[in-house]
Amino acid sequence: MSGPFDHEVKACAALLHRSDPDRFMAAMAAPVSARLVLFPIYALNIEVARAPWVTQEPMIAEMRLQWWRDALQEIAEGPTVRRHEVVTPLSRILSPHLAAMMDEYVAVRRWDIYRDPFEDQDHFDAYINHSAGTLMVVSAQALGTADEDVLRDFGYGVGVANWLRAIPDLEARGRIPLLDGTPEGVRQLAQNALDRLNRARSNRIAVSPQASPALHAGWQAGVILKQAVARPDRVAAGALGCGEMRRRLSLMAQVVTGRW
């Protein structure tokens, strides 16, 4: 990786390649100028997502998340920002507004530290909205003009699709990831998410071509949600998603047509 990529951005790309190959593929399908933005944001997502899981001590996990909140506050308020291979490139691409928005994205991941179930549907929806939804808003708006409501609809659909794929691992780690784990409960959750995904797609015009590469990250969501609606048992079996060839072809088709 050469050209405009400095050491920190290359480090972000390498982290993404190792830890989140799907988002790495999506970012590599974007123009080079967009990758400069997406690599650091997606690297932040990896660092924050894994912070609650690398220790059994809740206090240490809380401290790890607080470190990222402090770093984002520095980006939002300036003028001095700590040097770090993810924070440094983030400071060049996030506006104060987007950096402040990412604080709620980090804060909501505190749920991952503990073993309490979601309180109700509003609590679950807020978790998905502030994690996956906010990540979608920030990554798209860091690239170009895009309507926040459309991005949050799309982000919710993508977030639920990714959540359903993670269910076996979350349960193995002792978490209670679903309010209603019955087949009908899973089907209804997937259908609601698919409805929001389709609502976002019906408003594509509200997302500029400059911002749209951020939505490549959700290229598998529609298929996954449809699978969960048709066969809720695939969730517990860890059998959601497509084969490698279909994954690559569907991403290529989205990039070529621009129809996320």
What CATH architecture is 115-260?
Answer: Orthogonal Bundle (1.10)
Average pLDDT of the residues in 58-86: 96
Determine the pLDDT at residue 4.
Answer: 63
CA distance 233 to 220: 19
Average pLDDT of the residues in 186-207: 98
Determine the pLDDT at residue 221.
Answer: 97
**Residue 1 confidence class, pLDDT cut points 50, 70, 90:** very low
Compute CA 197 distance to the chain's CA centroid, rounded to the nearest angstrom.
14
Average pLDDT of the residues in 34-44: 98
What confidence tens digit (pLDDT) does each residue in 135-163 have?
999 999 999 999 999 999 999 999 999 99
* Amino acid in the structure at residue 190: A
CB 208 within 8 A of CB 144: yes
Element (H, E) at 3: none
Neighbours of 96 (CB within 10 A): 11
Q: Which residues contact 86 (CB under 8 A, 6 or more apart)?
A: 8, 11, 12, 15, 40, 43, 44, 47
Tell me where in the chain the CATH 1.10.600.10 domain(s) lie.
115-260
CA distance 235 to 186: 8
Q: Which residues contact 180 (CB under 8 A, 6 or more apart)?
A: 186, 188, 189
CB 80 within 8 A of CB 71: no
Average pLDDT of the residues in 108-129: 96
CA distance 114 to 181: 19
